[in-house]
Amino acid sequence: MMSSIKRFSAGAIIGLVIAASYWSSTTLFFHYQLSLSRGILGCSVLSIIFGLITLKWGYDAL
């Protein structure tokens, strides 16, 4: 049980980092600013997806 929580958390953190870097780079490189609610929703969705992928297939999936 604890191992699956650790794997999900690791995947969620990786997804959150990827989503946050994309969210911050849209303003710098594409001159398009995402709204705060859309950014938070996108980061949350991606972190959950990455967490579930890591939970199902392990760290090698990342």
What pLDDT digit, counting tens, does each position of 29-61 carry?
777 777 878 878 888 888 888 888 888 887 776
Phi, psi of 22 (to 5 degrees): -65, -45
pLDDT at position 36, please?
77
Please give the residue that has the higher pLDDT: either 52 or 62: 52
Residue 62 has pLDDT above 70, yes or no: no
| Gyration radius from the chain CA atoms | 13
* Alpha carbons 48 and 40: distance in angstroms, whole number: 12
pTM above 0.85, yes or no: no
pLDDT at position 41, please?
85
pLDDT at position 33, please?
78
